[in-house]
Amino acid sequence: MLQRFLDPKILASISGLDLVAKTVVDGFVAGLHRSPDFGFSQEFAEYRAYAPGDDLRHVDWNVFARTERCYLKRYRGETNSQLTVMLDASASMGYSSHGITKLDYGRFLAASLCHLAGQQRDAAGLIVFDDQIRQYVRPSTRQGQLSRLLHAINEAEPRARTDFGKPFLHFQQFLRRRGIVAVISDLFERPETVLKTVEPLRFRGNELILFHVLDPEEISPRLGEPAILVDMETGRRLEVSPEYARTEYKRRIEAHLRELRERALAAGVDYFLLATDRPLDAALREYLTIRQGRM
């Protein structure tokens, strides 16, 4: 019932990004099945067998006294992760064919992820980039962090071109702790280049999620007549016939998506394609799945 609130068109009508994020997350959480694997208010989390190199301060000596085995007692605070959302704000993200742009969708997604992370007491940070880093909010769990994040997300406006190389190079300098990196972009770049750029993050032990946001018209364009298309990033013009859009373009975009998915899988990067006419819950579920894996 509440799933309908995750419809992007309805979210777009809600003013205030914090309210959007709250609506999304609350609706999403309320719809989950109860599961022992998912708890939010327990102090104690689990015991884990000691391994060489673990800090001896975390050994539960009471258990060792009873069983003569070393177990580490893990608490909730220790399982907190760090989420860094990288939001692409290039000009192409401003495209829309049905009332909601890709950047709007990305904003909702980023805000929802930050809100969800905040509820789980994960440190959340934000990088807004196009061909360079436009905004950076350092990951933190401090009070008011969510407001800062939402403010930064709200200020993101589509401009310039997408260039993965430069912002990701800088981003690696900011990344001090391992965590989850969520990249929200339309990824209009060669898959080889995209993966080559983001792979170094994976090597540092980060969990990497590529949220590939596309407009349904970009996946399957519907041209009723020959048209002149203008590239929103470069301004280049091109005559396009409906026949080409139906056949050749579709073949190329599907090949592009397939290659992205395969290369991401090969690189251990989670890839998730989001069409802007789809609800946001799938994206959040993807995040939580990965989040669970890091607990």
Query: Looking at 12, 29, 160, 227, which residue binds another protein (CB under 8 A)?
Result: 227
95 or 272: CB nearest another protein: 95
Q: In what order do the strands lie in the sheet with 82-88?
A: 133-140, 123-129, 82-88, 180-185, 207-214, 270-275
Nearest of 268, 271, 125, 123 to residue 185 by alpha carbon = 271
Binding flag, residue 226, another protein (CB under 8 A): yes
Backbone angles phi, psi at 130, to 5 degrees: -135, -95
What residues between 182 and 211 interact with another protein by CB under 8 A? 186, 188
Q: Which is nearer to another protein, 116 or 187 (CB)?
A: 187
Q: Which burial class, exposed, middle or buried, applies to 92 when counting CB atoms under 10 A from its CB (0-12, 13-18, 19+)?
A: buried
Residues 236-265, interacting with another protein (CB under 8 A): 236-241, 243-244, 248-249, 252-253, 256
Binder of another protein out of 3, 234, 289, 292 (CB under 8 A): 234
Q: Does 92 bind another protein (CB under 8 A)?
A: yes
229 vs 266, which CB is nearer to another protein?
229
Query: Least CB distance from residue 19 to another protein, whole Å?
Result: 28
What whole-number distance in Å separates Cα of residue 161 and Cα of residue 131?
A: 5
User: Which residues contribute to the site for another protein (CB under 8 A)?
Assistant: 92-95, 102, 186, 188, 215, 218, 224-234, 236-241, 243-244, 248-249, 252-253, 256
